[in-house]
Chain A
Amino acid sequence: MAQNINPHYASSSNPAKQNEDTIKLKDNHAVSKRLQKELMELMRCADKGISAFPESENLFKWIGTINGPQETVYAGHKYKLSLEFPNSYPYAPPMVKFITPCFHPNVDTCGLICLDILKDKWTALYDVRTVLLSIQSLLAEPNTHSPLNQQASYLWPNQPAYKKYVDEFYNKHRDS
């Protein structure tokens, strides 16, 4: 059968597509390799207060957890996040979102996070570990000048009231 294929077809349309596919596969392979390294490293030396693991067999989607930093209004809270890695990782940042609703000046109601290292300050040297540690410190030190959540930003200076609100918010939404 294969001999009966019009050689003109075979040479004009197929190789281009094939080439595209192999490039994509090659890239995917490199990304998987790096993500596997990161996973091994995370499991080998577990940091306190953060963890992450692929959601399923798909290595490009992870679930991370962050414990609220000690001696802050978030102490005792545990937040789940989703991390999605593009095919261009680590040359482009992962897409990171809170799954557990989080009341915070730099987190919106959909869980989107405003953090420079996830956007224009990303570098290929960051990884899952440093991203989660950065978000953990963002919880402790919000940027109240460009808030996504105005109410949280407004309430932040009044820490006792903030603590009371954030505890109620967390207990109400933690399982949603």
Chain B
Amino acid sequence: MKVTVKSWTGVATWRWVANDDNCGICRMPFDSCCPDCKLPGDDCPLVWGACSHCFHIHCIVKWLHSQPQQQCPMCRQDWKFNNK
């Protein structure tokens, strides 16, 4: 039997690789976006701190801006962005 492929459609899925399902700050799933964004993905990325805790970038930036000290809301260590 001989098959001729006339057309095909590719489908891809993606997900963030994080050690948790939800952002602890907004409680939205990491694979969804923060409440201020409309679309998940590169426009609402996740960031990790040096302490290994992970949040939506918009959520952690909003938290750091609202505080006198720049600490991780999970472990209270000084927050440093982990550029891995």
User: Does chain B have a CB within 8 A of A119?
Assistant: no
User: Does chain B have a CB within 8 A of A91?
Assistant: yes
Q: Is the CB of B73 within 8 A of A34?
A: no
User: Does chain B have a CB within 8 A of A2?
Assistant: no
| Number of B residues, CB within 8 Å of A | 15
Q: Is the CB of B26 within 8 A of A34?
A: yes
CB neighbors of B among A125-150 (8 A): 125
- Per DSSP, are chain B's interface residues mostly helix, strand or loop, or mixed? loop
Q: Using an 8 Å CB-CB cutoff, how does the interface string of A29-53 with B read, 1 for contact, 0 for none?
A: 1100110011000000000000000
CB neighbors of B among A16-33 (8 A): 26, 29-30, 33
For residue A123, which residues in chain B have a CB less than 8 angstroms away from its CB?
Answer: 63, 73-74, 76
Which of B24, B27, B62 makes the CB contact (< 8 A) with A91? B62
Interface size on A, as a range, is 10 to 19
Query: Within the assembled complex, what's the spacing in Å between the Cα atoms of A29 and B36?
Result: 9
Contact status of A34 and B35, CB under 8 A, knowing A125-B24, A125-B74: yes
User: Does chain A have a CB within 8 A of B66?
Assistant: yes
Partner-A contacts on B (CB < 8 A): 24-28, 34-36, 59, 62-63, 66, 73-74, 76
Partner-B contacts on A (CB < 8 A): 26, 29-30, 33-34, 37-38, 88, 90-92, 123-125
